[in-house]
Amino acid sequence: MATEKEIVVSGIRPTGYLHLGNYFGAIRNYIRMQEEFDCYFFVADWHSLTTHPNPKDLQANVMRVLAENIASGLDPEKVTLYAQSHVPEIAELYLLMNMLAYKGELEKVPTFKDKVRLQPENVNAGLLTYPVLMSVDILIQRAVKVPVGKDQGQHLEMARNFAQRFNNRYGELFPEPVAFNYGDNLVRILSLDGKGGKMSKSENEMSTIYLSDDDEKIRQKLKKAKTDSGSGIPGEPMPESVANLVEIMKLVSAPDTVQFYVDAFNAGTIRYGDMKTQLGEDMVKFIAPIREKAKDLQENRAYLHKIMKEGAEKARANAAQTLQQARNLIGLNYFE
């Protein structure tokens, strides 16, 4: 007898360009998850509205994110891919959950405080209730596992809190989702500028490798990557900037290539120019197929629309069941 797979939900904002950190930190795990779980992956277009994107940019960004995820290995036959705004049931449950969210707790969320500091002229209600909408994205599909990074841990804890509050007040409906990642497969790729921060969509463009970068741009960025040569004494500790390049090399280069440069560093004979040239060529071989496939997909709007429509139909069917149960438990079922 077949058993139902556990539900996994994750979303990505259609802002900026997907980069190497997104791929190895998230998408690669999604590809593995699609074989083991019932996965709902969505483009968080409603979330992006807190920063008031240009409508034309929003549409293009949504299509690009969808195309890059498919080009990276997500199979529309195995996962449910959809735009958040194509599932209106989310908006109604968001309204209902806002009744269980309190101003004080929302104002204490670190990401909200950061946004207030960075954009004091645009502290809109959507920013304040962002964690509620994020929670509903998860709860409406009744997900039990959510692949999140450390910086989103508090948002997931809030989703658990909202599930508990609803269940305690109205009756059992929502499972309490837990953070999930393959513990042996966690990758954090640092910026190429050597400052210690992770690769980011919004930081220095030359310090981030994007999945859309052309071959020459990839080579150029890696040639300019920070390398602290240290003292050159054999056996000295590897500087963080060099260690980062080695970690990136492990992801895209042959094992013997990686070992060659590690041995050269330990012997004090490493030539960083050669190392970065080699890494540039290996990175080009890795990125180019993803970039070209994503480009082809973006030009095939009919196909992307089909994927989004089919994904929305499945996501809505599941969400509608959850929402109807929530209405019944609250008492919003006057004709039954």
Indicate the helix (H) or strand (E) that contains 24.
Answer: none
Active-site residue, selected from the candidate residues 5, 103, 145, 201? 201
Known binding residue 200? Answer is: yes
Contact present, 199 and 191 (Cβ < 8 Å): yes
* DSSP state string for 66-91: HHHHHHHT--TTTSEEEEGGG-THHH
Indicate the helix (H) or strand (E) that contains 134.
Answer: helix 130-139
How many alpha carbons lie under 13 Å from residue 210 in its C-beta half-sphere? Answer: 21
The bridge status of strand 38-43 relative to strand 80-83 is: parallel
Active-site residue, selected from the candidate residues 78, 103, 115, 285? 115
**Tokens 């330990």 -> residue:** 266
CA torsion 195→15→322→138, rounded to 10°? 0
Known binding residue 14? Answer is: yes
> Is-catalytic flag, 201?
yes
Known binding residue 293? Answer is: no
Residues 6+ apart with CB under 8 A from 333: 327
Known binding residue 137? Answer is: yes
Known binding residue 150? Answer is: yes
Active-site residue, selected from the candidate residues 198, 250, 295, 314? 198
Known binding residue 75? Answer is: no
Known binding residue 201? Answer is: yes
Indicate the helix (H) or strand (E) that contains 234.
Answer: none
Known binding residue 274? Answer is: no
> Is-catalytic flag, 5?
no
Known binding residue 15? Answer is: yes
Contact present, 281 and 252 (Cβ < 8 Å): no
Known binding residue 110? Answer is: no
Kindly report the backbone phi and psi dihedral angles of residue 79, in degrees, each rounded to the nearest multiple of 5, phi listed first. Answer: -125, 160
Known binding residue 316? Answer is: no
Known binding residue 151? Answer is: yes
For the chain, report the end-to-end CA distance as a whole number of angstroms: 35
Distance CA 235, CA 180 (A): 37
Known binding residue 219? Answer is: no
Residue 167: closest CA among 204, 207, 139, 191: 139
Distance CA 134, CA 115 (A): 16
Residues 6+ apart with CB under 8 A from 107: 113, 128
> Is-catalytic flag, 115?
yes
Indicate the helix (H) or strand (E) that contains 7.
Answer: strand 7-12
Known binding residue 331? Answer is: no
Distance CA 10, CA 275 (A): 36
- Known binding-site positions for ATP: 13-15, 21-22, 149-151, 189, 198-202
- Known binding-site positions for L-tryptophan: 137
Catalytic residues: 115, 198, 201
- Known binding-site positions: 13-15, 21-22, 137, 149-151, 189, 198-202
